Chains A and B, each alone.
Chain A
């Protein structure tokens, strides 16, 4: 469309296209090829195109002059500098591609607002404040990979679980399952709310973390859905919720530090839950509960991996942060010292589930399995704590201080 004429000004022929029909695009792109102060010529055939061009140039801050050439009107447009002026003092916001040097900045500015990482942000854009705006307090090197895994591992409860598989439990056992589901749901609500709150406080510059938190929230929503559906499968309503259980979960909601909350919720809590869900996968009395537990455990393991990855990164930047992690376990333990701990109904339910039937021998076996579960949970916590750099003795001590409510 643009060609050089003998008088050396680039010329654009908009032909029959009016500026009321998109011709301004041809001119706009033509002007991008020249510097402010430079000129190009425009010719056209659409009735009144000169008036349209004149109005458009006036609105864009470009100058114009009209002349005749070969009996045809030619408008010479002089590029103004308003377009360039808008981007004066614009802010760079890193790069979109994590693989590039300088992609993620150490501190994200409120003036970057909601812009895509890597975008150029006009000066004077409104400040949008996000509390979590420092890389060192939120980052995890594996976030991008974990998000990709999470996306690939999403499951549809309607398809992934065979809700119609026939089974019939004794009333007492079905009641126990309803109690267990009631307990699981409130724990999963905490596991949804904690990342959701941080999600709203996280600067969007840390896109990989934002995505991972978002899909974690979606995971928990799905878990709440399937636990509720299992609870209602045989016509039950949710059972009991204890003060101690909720007090324990509230300490997670009250934790303002992203890393400590991730440590208490994901590394210790959800890590412990993975053991519980694996236990249910192995010992639950019905096939639906076993399937649900299996699928939820896979998601929870990913949440644990994110928590670990973030803490390993943070501890690498700030080794003394380990002391704060230890203190947080102690503080939570102190805060919960006066509470009852695990819902007694849940504990008994687990025994009943592991026993499978009401005989002294079966219950004895179930009791041993639950005891073993408790030991396995503590052992899992110890291993993760050691991976975070705690000495073995301290890891054992801290693992034991973890809430009796599991999460």
Chain B
């Protein structure tokens, strides 16, 4: 048997096994040996890619930032091979109860003295990018507002949306005054009835950012580089119309794979620096981060 192309993914929920078993089957049907290793957190996964444990990583945006920094430090190059259509141009929204004194982006100073709910410390969408958004508008935690963190499964980089959901629940209970979440989770929590229609408002919205990508580190091994090309071809050939493939795409939350791009990580990179999450070499700086 040919050496399989080894992918790392983070086990943020049980469905992850179903998803990657399905992908494994798909690639085998196309005579491409593919296998995967599940990690309990993105930090170990990123490190494993440089230790040669995996060829490819299904990385969160934050994991991408770290991998990119670690690669540069080693004179290597990280590449984003592909991403989901749903990974592009996400935004995070700040949600308040309808009776809030905050009307919109024009009077965010009304947040002064209020309690804002954030997601896990390592969540790009519910912590890092939102903090960046507020900082750029002159709002700092402890000084201008009280940050309350809803940590759920640290090390998963916010993939588990439990933190955002807990914040939404706390918002409705009146325990906090505002909560950050991905725009799509605002709709999801509305469908779940956690945020009843008409009872909340969006008062702020971050700039666009991208989410996950398949990362390879080029230059580590020529075999890996060749297999990465083949892998990408097969991945991009997956079609929503194909009834064998569609269930996998539905589980993974996409309609179509797109070629990877790295232009959508600027907001996050800025926040990682400002928040001192990683240093320029990809070392973890943030103190209260357990994974």
Partner-B contacts on A (CB < 8 A): 18-22, 47-48, 50-52, 54-56, 58-61, 80-82, 85-86, 88-89, 122-124
Contact = CB atoms under 8 A, between A and B. Distances in A.
A123 B243 contact: yes
Interface residues of B, number: 32
B239 A85 contact: yes
A56 B183 CA distance: 9
Contacts of B91: 51, 54-55
Nearest to A56: B187
Interface in B190-219: 190, 195, 197-198, 200-203, 205
Given A52-B183, A82-B240, 12 more contacts: A19-B190, A20-B186, A20-B200, A47-B201, A51-B202, A51-B205, A55-B183, A56-B187, A58-B86, A59-B86, A59-B184, A80-B255
Given A59-B184, A82-B240, A48 B203 contact: yes
A61 B240 contact: yes
A163 to B, nearest CB: 50
B247 A58 contact: no
A283 B40 CA distance: 81
Interface string B84-101: 011011110100000000
A114 B56 CA distance: 42
Interface string B236-269: 0001110110110000010110000000000000
B22 interface: no
Contacts of A18: 197-198
A89 B242 CA distance: 9
B162 interface: no
A89 B243 contact: yes
Interface in B147-164: none
B121 interface: no
B104 interface: yes
Nearest to A111: B243
A88 B104 CA distance: 44
B115 interface: no
B85 A47 contact: no
B126 interface: no
Given A51-B183, A55-B182, A55-B183, A22 B241 contact: no
A52 B186 contact: yes
Contacts of A88: 241, 243
A10 B183 CA distance: 25
Contacts of A60: 255
Contacts of B187: 19-20, 52, 55-56, 59
Nearest to B184: A55
B203 to A, nearest CB: 7
B172 to A, nearest CB: 13
A51 B183 CA distance: 6
A238 B16 CA distance: 59
Interface in B57-89: 85-86, 88-89
Nearest to B249: A82
30 contacts: A18-B197, A18-B198, A19-B190, A20-B186, A21-B190, A21-B197, A47-B202, A48-B202, A48-B203, A51-B91, A52-B187, A52-B202, A54-B89, A55-B91, A55-B186, A56-B187, A58-B86, A58-B89, A59-B187, A59-B253, A61-B85, A61-B255, A61-B256, A82-B255, A85-B239, A85-B241, A89-B241, A89-B243, A122-B243, A124-B246
Contacts of A122: 243
Label chain A's interface by main secondary structure.
loop
Nearest to A50: B205
Nearest to B245: A124
Contacts of B190: 19-21
Nearest to A20: B190
A52 B187 CA distance: 7
A124 B201 CA distance: 40
Interface of B: 85-86, 88-91, 93, 104, 182-184, 186-187, 190, 195, 197-198, 200-203, 205, 239-241, 243-244, 246-247, 253, 255-256
Contacts of B200: 20
Contacts of B197: 18, 20-22
Contacts of A56: 184, 187
Contacts of A55: 90-91, 182-184, 186-187
In this complex, the member of A18, A20, A60 whose beta carbon has the largest number of chain B beta carbons within 10 angstroms is A20
Contacts of A89: 241, 243
Contacts of B241: 85-86, 88-89
A50 B201 CA distance: 12
Nearest to A47: B201
Contacts of A80: 255
Contacts of B184: 55-56, 58-59
Nearest to B204: A48
A52 B244 CA distance: 31
Nearest to A60: B255
Contacts of B255: 60-61, 80, 82, 85
Contacts of A124: 243-244, 246-247
A50 B202 CA distance: 10
A21 B193 CA distance: 11
In this complex, the member of B88, B104, B182, B205 whose beta carbon has the largest number of chain A beta carbons within 10 angstroms is B205
A54 B240 contact: no
Contacts of B183: 51-52, 54-55
A58 B243 contact: no
Nearest to B197: A21
A202 B222 CA distance: 58
Nearest to B92: A51
B85 A86 contact: no
A86 B205 CA distance: 32
B139 to A, nearest CB: 18
Contacts of B89: 54, 58
Nearest to B195: A20
Contacts of B256: 61, 82
Contacts of B186: 20, 48, 51-52, 55
A18 B187 CA distance: 10
Which 6 residue pairs of A and B lie closest in terms of their CB atoms, listed nearest first?
A48-B202, A124-B243, A61-B255, A21-B197, A20-B190, A123-B243
Contacts of B240: 61, 81-82, 85-86
A23 to B, nearest CB: 10
A65 to B, nearest CB: 10
